[in-house]
Amino acid sequence: MTGRPGYPPEPMRWEGQADGRLLIIEQTLLPAEEREIELSSVQDVADAIYRLAVRGAPAIGITAAYGLVLAARAIAGNQTPDETVSALERDAAFLARTRPTAVNLTWALRRMARLFEPPAGPVEMQQRLLDEALSIHEEDRQACLAMARWAAPFLREGGSYLTHCNAGSLATGGIGTALGVFHLAAREGKAITVYVDETRPLLQGARLTSWELQRSGIEVKLICDSAAATFLTRGPVQAVFVGADRIAGNGDAANKLGTLSVALAARHAGIPFYVVAPSSTFDLTLADGGEIPIEERPPEEVTDGFGRRTAPEGIGICNPAFDVTPADLITALITERGVIEAPTTERIRTVLA
């Protein structure tokens, strides 16, 4: 199944006004089935984020913002303004605990929380929060397009590139971070090939990135995670583009587990390694990547992937969701505000100031 070249599907959308509904693509079903589901409550939103029905740092931030609109709707009309604020603060804290590594989640919730202050009746509060959530969504759309344009000079006609996990439209509010430049190339009729790591254990590359890029009319070559170093050191890949879930003040970047291995292989091969992420993904309160919290996922994702046991009973399992790539392995950070080559604390602050 293919779509319009360069125009991938949106993972979430708000339909209607403040009394409308929140719809997401149920990503756990892809690529076998493309289905939208409705999220009707804060609990629905939290569950969807945790079980990766919606995932990707910008996308979960946007979805959580819409979740607070649903929270405001659920609050009884006879509550006082102060009681309303307290209830919304509890719901925001609940949503923030779903995925600890991706800073866009807490960034979006903090931005929404600035609007909690009374006086505001229930209807006014819902509209106020919806307007802000829609703004966050639209800003991400524009940021994705800006990042793609900044990254475009690093692509060439007929080139081959590698990516890890999914940092495309399915992970954002627009055409994506790392994948955005590929979608933009498709819009412009530029022929490229993208090598996609399968991304164990949940196969976001195989299930999601391959599906998304194919829908966009881009040539895709799926490879095992363990094959990435071979394709980097022996050709034909010319550059790596990945996203990030949190970037520390010095440029160290947390992304899906396995990204560090790709960065090390790229450095050995002398191949550029680009991290594409919006300014909302930067956490300048952290001096370096050692301070980034790393989410530990359930062991069953490793031992019982997609319903089939693939490991013996009774063994220990380590399943961190992310690793951290040091800044000195990153050729450039590409943001909606510009390109930060050979990132350092000073260069990051100069661009993001």
Instruction: Provide the annotated active-site residues.
Output: 245
* Calpha distance 134→65 (Å, rounded): 9
Q: In this structure, what are the phi and psi dihedrals at residue 31, rounded to the nearest 5 degrees?
A: -90, 0
Strand partners, 296: 320
Contact 142, 173 (CB under 8 A): no
- 10 Å CB burial of residue 207 (0-12, 13-18, 19+) is buried
Q: To 10 degrees, the CA torsion angle through 295, 348, 107, 318?
A: 0
**CB of 26 within 8 A of CB of 53?**
yes
Strands 282-283 and 246-248, sheet pairing: parallel
Strand runs labelled E in 202-272: 219-223, 239-242, 246-248, 253-256
| Helix 103-113 × helix 57-74 angle, to 10° | 30
d(CA 336, CA 221): 28
